[in-house]
């Protein structure tokens, strides 16, 4: 087909692209960022991805979803958006539940697959939990767990009654680079690096499942390529073996060559009282106009004392092949340590490791003491237009879709 024919078909509303086009919601987050990076760098021949920010497309607004997806006409949608763990009822419900359901309704209308990233928060504590397991929907659940559980339930309902082509991917505790909000596992890691955990806040023998964020895109890609096998199914996407929390904490401690936390295990009732005390203190300080925000992960405190391991038998029996079978949280730890200590050092969140990980920055002295030197240097030889881009002015702009 000539480019003119293609252009004519395009203007008459007929789809001409051969590549699949996906829309990724939540592309600035820990999981979404990893997915966006994968699809932009590894699938250029096969898949294109649009990852609108929440400013461009807020899934709280059903009209925005309809307008955006009508304009883009994707071949699939991946939803990895989530409201902050400590958001209020309205945000949790509108982003985590209504937003996800409205995306599913759009996918149902377009007849395209909907990949939904879910969480082990939908599961009770216990060992070797299967994909069929889930918590009962009860008022006492956190907003997060409730909204994820309701989302899963509605997708299955839509699958059964409307034939929605969905896959639910349940993640456990996720580790990986690019967590810009310091959540979940990285919050634990941060409190160790920051030496703000004096004693062990767990119990010996407590185990959890972990998810390697680097592997998620490979699975999502595979799931998209094998709809017959994965459609209307739920999968646990977790590392092969669960990890003992105490062992992980002590491994990180020894990696960072720290003395804290001391190997003294604080019982849960003591920690729980401490949590109530902190919440009380925060509310008192609020009376004086001092706003104190406790880490939202406190909602998971009980999980530090109870095992939750997810069975990965269904995943292992599927056609998916782990691209990095030897990679676990322990093997990735050295890379994570370098990445996060550098990042937190630059952000002035911790200073203990700055010398080791940041080294000296050649412009530091000038910027602090004689900024004009830098200004002069830049004006002297670093402001001419990039030569490799100059000719672009003469070529037409590719508007894309």
Binding site for ligand NAP (CB under 6 A): 25-32, 53-54, 58-60, 80-83, 95, 117, 119, 148, 171, 173-174, 181, 183-184
Q: Using the minimum distance from each CB to ligand NAP, give the nearer residue, 22 or 26.
A: 26
Q: Using the minimum distance from each CB to ligand NAP, give the nearer residue, 202 or 303.
A: 303
Is there a contact between 119 and 171 (Cβ–Cβ < 8 Å)? yes
Q: How many helices (H) and strands (E) does the chain have?
A: 17, 14
**Cα→Cα distances 299→1, 76, 79, 102, 401, Å:** 57, 33, 23, 28, 42
Measured from each CB, the residue nearest to ligand NAP is: 29
Q: Are strands 126-129 and 308-310 parallel, antiparallel or unpaired?
A: parallel
Q: Using the minimum distance from each CB to ligand NAP, give the nearer residue, 117 or 329.
A: 117
Element (H, E) at 71: helix 62-72
Helices (H), 326-370: 329-346, 354-358, 364-369
Q: Using the minimum distance from each CB to ligand NAP, give the nearer residue, 93 or 271.
A: 93
Q: Using the minimum distance from each CB to ligand NAP, give the nearer residue, 21 or 103.
A: 103
Q: Which is nearest to 130 in space by CA: 361, 317, 350?
A: 317
Is there a contact between 66 and 106 (Cβ–Cβ < 8 Å)? yes
Q: Using the minimum distance from each CB to ligand NAP, give the nearer residue, 155 or 266.
A: 155
Q: Which is nearest to 323 in space by CA: 230, 231, 237?
A: 237
Task: Give min distance, CB of 189 to ligand NAP, in A.
Answer: 12
């Amino acid at each position: 087909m000539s480019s003119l024919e293609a252009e004519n078909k395009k203007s008459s509303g007929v789809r001409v692209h051969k590549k699949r086009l996906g829309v990724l919601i939540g592309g600035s987050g820990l999981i979404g960022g990893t997915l966006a990076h994968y699809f932009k760098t590894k699938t250029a021949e096969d898949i294109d991805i649009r990852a609108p920010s929440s400013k461009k497309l807020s899934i709280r607004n059903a009209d925005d979803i309809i307008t955006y997806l009508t304009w883009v006409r994707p071949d699939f949608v991946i939803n990895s958006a989530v409201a902050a763990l400590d958001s209020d009822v309205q945000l949790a419900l509108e982003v985590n539940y209504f937003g996800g359901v409205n995306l599913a309704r759009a996918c149902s209308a377009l007849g395209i697959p909907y990949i939904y990233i879910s969480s082990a928060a939908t599961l009770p504590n216990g060992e070797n939990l299967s994909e069929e397991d889930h918590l009962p929907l009860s008022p006492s659940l956190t907003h997060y767990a409730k909204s994820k559980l309701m989302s899963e339930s509605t997708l299955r309902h839509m699958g059964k009654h409307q034939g929605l082509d969905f896959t639910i991917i349940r993640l456990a505790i996720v580790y990986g680079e690019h967590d810009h909000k310091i959540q979940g596992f990285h919050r634990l890691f941060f409190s160790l690096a920051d030496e703000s955990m004096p004693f062990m806040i767990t119990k010996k023998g407590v185990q959890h499942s972990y998810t390697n964020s680097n592997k998620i895109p490979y699975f999502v890609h595979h799931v998209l390529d094998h709809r017959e096998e994965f459609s209307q199914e739920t999968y646990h996407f977790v590392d092969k073996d669960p990890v003992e929390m105490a062992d992980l904490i002590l491994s990180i401690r020894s990696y960072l060559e720290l003395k804290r936390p001391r190997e003294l295990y604080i019982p849960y009732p003591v920690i729980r009282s401490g949590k109530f005390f902190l919440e009380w203190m925060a509310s008192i300080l609020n009376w004086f106009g001092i706003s104190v925000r406790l880490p939202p992960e406190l909602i998971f405190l009980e999980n530090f004392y109870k095992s939750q391991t997810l069975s990965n038998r269904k995943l292992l029996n599927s056609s998916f092949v782990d691209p990095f079978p030897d990679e676990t949280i322990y093997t990735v730890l050295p890379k994570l340590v370098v990445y996060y200590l550098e990042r937190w050092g630059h952000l002035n969140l911790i200073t203990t490791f700055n010398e080791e990980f940041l080294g000296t920055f050649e412009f530091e002295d000038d910027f602090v003491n004689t900024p004009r030197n830098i200004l002069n240097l830049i004006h002297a030889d670093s402001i001419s237009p990039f030569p490799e881009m100059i000719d672009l002015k003469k070529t037409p702009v590719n508007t894309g879709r």
